[in-house]
Amino acid sequence: MKRKDTFLIGIVVGIVVLVVVAFVVAMMRPEPTFQPETTPEGVAHNYLLALRQGDLARAYGYLDPELPGFPATLELFTRDISSYTSGLEMNQSSSSWEVLSSTVTNNQATVNVRQTYFSQGGLFGSGQYSSTFVMSLVRDAPEANWKLTGADRYWAWCWNETEGCN
């Protein structure tokens, strides 16, 4: 009988240790930080991170002011991003994203981003799935900053229309 109790205690202690290790690993994960704005990947990353953190002024600064429907003020940008996209829903921790690759041709670039969604459905019902989307950027000159001109997500389609968003 004593041997079974020792075995059971060993199992319980092992489970507790695994839970503590998992908790420590999750808590020590580094917070995302802004990247240098000298590359299209950095600008795409920073735009998404600014949206996630609710820094809409910073996100607004990454838009190309030459867009046909460029929102003239931060207030219009805020209205557009909340009305026409799910951009402000990035504050939820149910998804993450990572910049996968970019293609640069002269002063134009496309950046591929993978977004991973996490679902929780109990102990054995959790899952995740991923999808990719593209962000387009441009710069005026070889030494100029990259600016966003379009994206499949976290973008108001009306910014690319001459009438803008109404």
Domain boundaries, the chain: 38-160
What are residue 112's phi and psi, to 5 degrees?
-95, 130
pLDDT digits over 15-29, tens only?
877 766 655 555 566
pLDDT digits over 73-114, tens only?
999 999 999 887 765 555 455 778 899 999 999 999 999 999
Q: What is residue 139's DSSP assignment?
A: -
38-160 has which CATH code? 3.10.450.50
Q: What is residue 98's DSSP assignment?
A: E
pLDDT digits over 116-166, tens only?
887 777 666 677 889 999 999 999 888 889 999 999 999 999 999 999 887
HSE-CB at 81 with a 13 A cutoff on CA atoms is 27
Say which residues have a Cβ less than 8 Å from residue 22's Cβ, sequence separation at least 6.
Answer: none
pLDDT of residue 16: 77
Structure tokens at 49: 């991170």
